[in-house]
Amino acid sequence: MSAGESLSDAAFSLEDWYANDAPLTETQRLSVSRISAWTSRRVEKEDAVALNPPKTPWTIANRIELLAEEVDGMEAELYDARIESVESTIVKLNELLQLVEAAQTDLSQLQDALSFVEDHARDFLTKANTMLTDQHQVDVLRDEVALRLSYFSVLQQATALASLSTSNVLDEPAFLDTLKRLELALQFMNTHENYFDAHLYQMRLAHCVVRILEIIRTQFTKQGAQRTEAAIAQLQEANQTRDFSSDTGRLTLDSSLITEALYTSFRADHQKLRPYFAQVQSISATVKTASPAAASELEKEFEECRKTLVRWRKVLIGEFLQMYLSDHSLRLNNNEQSDLKTANLDAAILVQGLSSREVLFYYEYFPMYNSTEGSACDSALTDLLHTFGADFGKFLARFLPKDARLADLIDLTDCIQNGIRIANAGHSNVEDISEILDTAQCHTIAASWSEPVLNELGSRIVSSAQSVITRDIIHFIPSQDDLMYPACLYDNREGFLQEQRTLVQSTKSKVLQHTKRNSVVGVGLLEALVSKDQANTVMFSRPSESVFASWYKPLRTALDLLATLHTKIPLALLVELGMRIIQSAQHAVAHGASLLLQGKFGSEDGGVGAVDGYLFELRHLFVLRELYYSVEIASRQTKDHDRDLKVPYDTQPSSSLGQAFGVRMPDISLVLDTIHSVWGATRLYSGNEPQSSLSTPGNKEPPEAKPSVMHSTYIQLQARIEETKERVVGLAASTFALPLQIFVAQTERDTVHAFAPSKALAAWSTFQQGLEVNSVDLQEKLPTYICDEATIQELVDRTVAKVIAIFNVYKAKVSEGMAQCKPIEVPKELTDLVPSSDLHELLQRRLLPASELMHNTS
């Protein structure tokens, strides 16, 4: 390898080394590059010499020395230059260092100045924030002062408005705003009464509100009168131009011309006045606190406004009703295809729809008097609706004869009630008001307008019903078929007994659990109310047909009459008439029983006896007692229920709502309690009045009609029941113990002659023979007439007790007589008379029906 190649490789290796393996700074790289360049130049020169390299050692040594000198000279030159450069750089660095020190000094001074500025700026910021807070408080105080000043200053503006006499004062933009400001001012004065002259301002503000309402009423009166006159003219024009010969010419509420005249023409007025009425009504509570006298004047002004509106509507709607009813009158007089019932139904539908619209029209002016709970209308609105009913009543009176039949009166009442239902259900030609007025409000509206006409019809119905009571109940003349007892009961006995058992089973679980209802009880009238679906239960429902057919005809008439009347007349009249029906039916039953006792009527086979008359009366007295309780239940707990709408509505007994809608549903719990009280096994041995839930304090008081009449009717009825029971018991006991009674009577009268054992034995033998014969008849007839086993048990127990008492007297007389005779003269039958306990058991076995005997034995 030559020296050039070695240096070249070395240079390459050095560059590669500092580039890749030992990175240098720029200064270091520059120094290495200079050395590398110098070395390269030397290599080029030496290459030429290398062609003839020295051959001797001297030459080599000389060469080495030469090279060493060159190296030494090269390094000295390089280091000198570098030293100069470094010294120059150091001088510059010292200058820069002096500058940095000066800058640091200036910076420190600037920092001190900045801290000073920041400290003073923070103080300024705090003071600025404080000033802003104070400014805000000043602004709030200014607004509050301005507001309070406005409360006092509004009086001047309101007084100025109230003193205006122009007709367009309500058109002033500031009028409604002034009302609102008056309300705020009054509220402020009422809250802050400690202000100077606050009470004086309260009084002046309140009277200012009254004066403003007077202005509103004046404008309301003027505009309303004008609108009413124009509407009447429109109605008369419509009436003159319509075609009387066709159905399309009839006046109806769905006519656009009629609607325009009655309602649409008033819309602009009520939209204008309604906000003023509402605002004044809103102030009224505040006015009442500020000045009761002003509040009273304010209410009088409101009442005058309502009365004014009602006066206009009476004239306008009265005109329309007269046209409508005159149209019907003309058709009825011309004997067209329109009878009174159809006209009555159509008129009821129209009047109910018209009344509903009038109520809505009224509330458009006075929304504050609207009731969302269906309570009664205020007096002005009620007076308006009563006027409609009075006009309707005059129309009916014109075509209704004074001696109208009861059925016709009932039909007309039904038409009115059905018309109300149809109108409320939205099935009439008037618009559907069900989405605007709730059901309770519709009921109240119907009760208000229909009360006069229904009361008039009701009084005629009562008068006609009195004639029916006299003719068909009091003076009822029975035929042979009407008193075919006990044969008519024998024929259907199994049928109605089975029906009543089914009836009892269906109600057994509903009555109080401690009531012993293991037998057929009652007469089926009360139980018929609880055995059916409650939604379809109506007072005075008939029992099963077999049971109903087994009643005496006057009682069937009584039930049907009450079922017909109870939704057609007010409750007070219903109670009074119901008591008269019950008393009359009781008289008819007593008369029928007397005919049976006389033997003029009854079964043709001779099966009727004296006991049949008493049992016949007792059976129907039980029916009348349940009928009495039905009337009392109807008067105490009544739910008026519209069958179509399926919405119950509770009313007071004096209300006419039930009369208007024609359905009165009983309180089932009250019926069940009554069944328990009347027919509970523990009550039948007492003649006292049952303590049923009808008399509990929680229930409503009886209707103010005639509570004394109800009480006296019940007392008479209950006394007659007890008297009839005693007659049944007395007759049965006398029939069984007659031979013993005769012997005892003869013994007591004949004190001269000695005791005759033969007579005593004959009396005892006759008693035994009569018991075998007569007990069969009584054992069969008791369950035939009486459906309650507990009642049968009571009658048997009382009969047995009487027979045993007579037997004990007979036995004592026999014992006393045998003591005077020789033993051989006394028959063995007399010495071995049965004990009273054995006779008691024998009589019970002979008299009780088989089912009762088995029940008692078990």
pLDDT in tens, 58-79: 677 777 887 777 777 666 777 7
Q: What is the pLDDT of residues 590-634, one digit of tens each?
A: 999 998 888 777 655 545 677 888 999 999 999 999 899 888 888
For the cut 60, the answer to whether the pLDDT of residue 810 exceeds it is yes
Q: From the CB of residue 730, how many other CB atoms can be counted at a distance below 10 Å?
A: 14
pLDDT of residue 501: 64
Closest to 799 in 3D by CA, of 719, 724, 731, 718:
731
pTM for this one? 0.68
Token digits of residue 271? 């939209």
pLDDT of residue 2: 45
Residue 373's pLDDT band (boundaries 50, 70, 90)? very low
642 φ/ψ angles, rounded to the nearest 5 degrees: -85, 115
For the cut 50, the answer to whether the pLDDT of residue 430 exceeds it is no
For the cut 60, the answer to whether the pLDDT of residue 706 exceeds it is no
Q: Are 415 and 475 in contact (CB under 8 A)?
A: no
CA-based radius of gyration for the chain: 59
135, burial (CB in 10 Å: exposed 0-12, middle 13-18, buried 19+): exposed
Residue with tokens 């079964």: 603
- Estimate the crossing angle of helix 757-785 against helix 487-508, to 10 degrees: 60
Token digits of residue 441? 């409000």
Q: Residue 604: CB partners within 8 Å, gap ≥ 6?
A: 484, 487
pLDDT of residue 53: 57
> How far apart are alpha carbons 551 and 627 in whole angstroms?
13
For the cut 90, the answer to whether the pLDDT of residue 839 exceeds it is no
For the cut 60, the answer to whether the pLDDT of residue 245 exceeds it is no
Percent of the chain with pLDDT over 90: 11
* Cis check: omega of the bond before 486, within 30 degrees of 0: yes
For the cut 70, the answer to whether the pLDDT of residue 489 exceeds it is yes
pLDDT of residue 720: 94
DSSP 376: P
Q: Residue 210: CB partners within 8 Å, gap ≥ 6?
A: 287, 294, 297, 298, 301
Q: Residue 629: CB partners within 8 Å, gap ≥ 6?
A: 526, 674, 678, 692, 694
Token digits of residue 629? 């309780």
Q: Are 301 and 214 in contact (CB under 8 A)?
A: yes
Residue 180's pLDDT band (boundaries 50, 70, 90)? confident
Q: What is the pLDDT of residues 514-564, one digit of tens each?
A: 344 444 445 667 766 665 555 556 778 888 787 888 889 999 999 999 988
What mean pLDDT value characterizes the chain? Answer: 75
Token digits of residue 577? 């008439």
Mean pLDDT of 219-223: 83
For the cut 70, the answer to whether the pLDDT of residue 508 exceeds it is no
697, burial (CB in 10 Å: exposed 0-12, middle 13-18, buried 19+): exposed
End-to-end CA, the chain? 148
* Lowest-confidence region among 693-702, 785-794, 797-806: 693-702
The SS3 assignment for 664 reads strand
pLDDT of residue 583: 94
CA 380, distance to chain mean position in Å, is 26
Residue 562's Cβ-side half-sphere holds a number of Cα atoms within 13 Å equal to 34
Residue 306's pLDDT band (boundaries 50, 70, 90)? confident
Mean pLDDT of 233-260: 69
Mean pLDDT of 6-32: 62
The SS3 assignment for 542 reads coil
Q: From the CB of residue 305, how many other CB atoms can be counted at a distance below 10 Å?
A: 22
Q: What is the pLDDT of residues 743-761, one digit of tens each?
A: 888 888 876 666 777 888 8
Which segment, 86-100, 192-206, 262-276, 808-822, is predicted with the most confidence on average? 86-100
Residue 108's pLDDT band (boundaries 50, 70, 90)? very high
For the cut 80, the answer to whether the pLDDT of residue 282 exceeds it is no
Residue 662's pLDDT band (boundaries 50, 70, 90)? low
pLDDT of residue 696: 34
Residue 798's pLDDT band (boundaries 50, 70, 90)? very high
Strand partners, 642: 647
Q: Which residue has the higher pLDDT, 641 or 616?
A: 616
pLDDT of residue 524: 65
Torsion, CA 722, CA 724, CA 726, CA 728, rounded to 10: -140
pLDDT of residue 10: 46
Token digits of residue 699? 């229930």
8, burial (CB in 10 Å: exposed 0-12, middle 13-18, buried 19+): middle
Q: Are 592 and 483 in contact (CB under 8 A)?
A: yes
pLDDT of residue 295: 75
pLDDT of residue 704: 43
pLDDT of residue 321: 84
Residue 642's H or E segment, with its range, is: strand 638-642
Closest to 594 in 3D by CA, of 618, 609, 614, 624:
614
Residue 640's H or E segment, with its range, is: strand 638-642
Residue 855's pLDDT band (boundaries 50, 70, 90)? very low
> How far apart are alpha carbons 282 and 176 in whole angstroms?
13
> What single letter denotes the amino acid at residue 43?
V
* Lowest-confidence region among 26-30, 627-631, 686-690: 686-690
Q: Which residue has the higher pLDDT, 619 or 689?
A: 619
For the cut 90, the answer to whether the pLDDT of residue 588 exceeds it is yes
